[in-house]
Amino acid sequence: MPHTLSLHSLGIGLATRNRRGDIIEVFFPVVLRAPSPVFAAALAAACAYKEGNAVLSLSTSVVPELLASAPQDILSSLQALAGAQVDLTVMFIATDAAPACIAEVYLKLHLLSHRLCKPHSLNLTGAFGLLQNLAWTNKGAIDLADLPARQLEARLQGELLEVMSVDKFPKMSNYIVPKGVRIAHTARVRLGAYLGEGTTIMHEGFVNFNAGTEGPAMVEGRISAGVMIGSGSDLGGGCSTMGTLSGGGTEVISVGRDCLIGANAGIGFPLGDRCIVEAGLYVTAGTKVLLLDKDNQVVGTRKARELAGKSDLLFRRNSVTGAVECKANKTAIALNEELHTHN
């Protein structure tokens, strides 16, 4: 093994296995993007890593040997892992290809939630199909095939095994809590969400994986998979953004900076900066929109997708005719700085 090794990323973690010995999820307390070539080579030698994207085991007995070459910011985590009584799981990613195993998916989800990679910057093709539905319990992740026996074991010990959800994705906060965010209901933010500093997720807010916010934002609605929200934007209560998958897998939905999507409203096309969608109005990509001039006179008709990415627009529904209208937006929202400083 050479003295240096260039990698896309790596993670050192603790894997949960089912009773057949298969990995079902991985918690990575050590996550590195473009790791130090010297540390990467030392870890590779300890794991007998050869090439490509690979998941390997690492004995905790060799962890102290890695401390000399480890970056300063992971020393405390490595020292804690050195005392573990189980073998560690190491995921090496040499190239950003479509993930081939569960450990690879989990490392990429960690990279997103640690803000080391932004949504759409990682290849997650097929990730959803690799993951399996698990019972997420007060005792951790449990394979559904193992669940009845585990529930019985708990009862025989006078305990209750609480199942909080049955899903492919866990909640982010059981793995990562990024600096400077507020999450009122942690079950509504999945691992793999990217939350910029200053983001507030209220009780009805939801953030899917490979999606999130650039910076300060108020989220009281739904951020679907693949959707990114610009800094300073406000998603009103019960509003929705149509996910990339829901939109047919071709159109990437996004919201620009300083936008407002009103309560119970929604979009199915990308918004530019400083746009407003009035409460209760859902505008899909194919919605026909009447264009108004400064005197509120109709000057044309467009499908909403033709206005994708354009800034300073106000979308509203005419309360008399029911037509969807669009005109220049002369106002812009401003978030309360005190509410979005989460130290």
Residue type, position 231, single letter? S
Alpha helices by DSSP H, the chain: 37-47, 63-66, 75-82, 102-113, 127-130, 147-156
Beta strands in 98-233 (DSSP E): 134-137, 140-143, 163-167, 182-183, 193-195, 199-201, 206-207, 211-213, 217-219, 222-223, 228-229
- Residue carrying the six token digits 């929202």: 333
Catalytic residue among 220, 306, 325, 338: 220
Cβ–Cβ under 8 Å, residues 109 and 191: yes
Is 51 one of the annotated active-site residues of the chain?
no
- The angle at the Cα of 162, spanning 80 to 26, to the nearest 5 degrees, equals 35
- Residue carrying the six token digits 């010297």: 38
Q: How far apart are CA 306 and CA 19, in angstroms?
A: 53
Q: How far apart are CA 91 and CA 35, in angstroms?
A: 12
How remote is the C-alpha of 196 from its chain's centroid? 11
Cβ–Cβ under 8 Å, residues 124 and 99: yes
Known catalytic residues are: 220
